[in-house]
Amino acid sequence: MLQFFAKYKFLAIVLLVLSVIIISVIYTILKPKEILPVYQPSGSGLNPELIDSTVQYVRKYHTIADFSLTNQNGTNVTQQDYEGKIYVADFFFTTCQTICPVMTDHMLEIQQELKNDQEVLLLSHTVMPETDSVHILKKYALEKGVNDKKWNLVTGDKKQIYDLARKSYLAAKDNPYNEYDLIHTENFVLVDKKRRIRGFYDGTDPEAISKLLEDIKLLKAE
């Protein structure tokens, strides 16, 4: 009996390895591929307070609207600069002393993690363009260590920025535009290469940032 097992030992090992490989392949094929949701204004999973009344009935095909803003280098930035890219967007202002410094630190973390990834960009909109001029944004960018090739800090027409926050990114509460109001949101918004929203994250929460980085990997794998 021992001689029998000794004779076929190599064959048994080969069969065992093949069995493991076959089982692994079958599991991989049958395992559902994880795909991030595409967020729509009328869909589930969103805070109703963040759905602007002008888009609340949109069930599909919601995308980020065209925009034209100016970055920290005085360069015009439009949706074409983000064409074919995954990007993370947020809203801040340079003099904010509450949530914005934490959000900026987390954007810097994302920038560092993805510094060599040319598929992913960052986009931060000031909600106080009347004070956050190009000069101020450049000073802020230099102080924080912003990589100009990776991350645009943009200023411009206030109504355009506020409409983007409420009607495109669904990142701020639905309030009629008023030049004296102030959008103050901690939301980071993940946008895919088709300008669709694929995720919302608390920009002040380290665990949410880790989830965002993992979701970017999933999005790239689609």
In DSSP notation, 23-70 reads HHHHHHHHSPPP------TTSSSS-GGGS-TTTTT--S---PPP-EEE
| 125 appears as a binding residue in the annotation | no
Output the six-digit token pair for 209. 């940032």
* CA 12/CA 18 separation, integer angstroms: 10
CB atoms within 10 A of CB 208: 18
Are 41 and 170 in contact by the 8 Å Cβ rule? The answer is: yes
| 100 appears as a binding residue in the annotation | yes
Q: Which residues are annotated as a binding site for Cu cation?
A: 96, 100, 184
Q: Which residues are annotated as a binding site?
A: 96, 100, 184
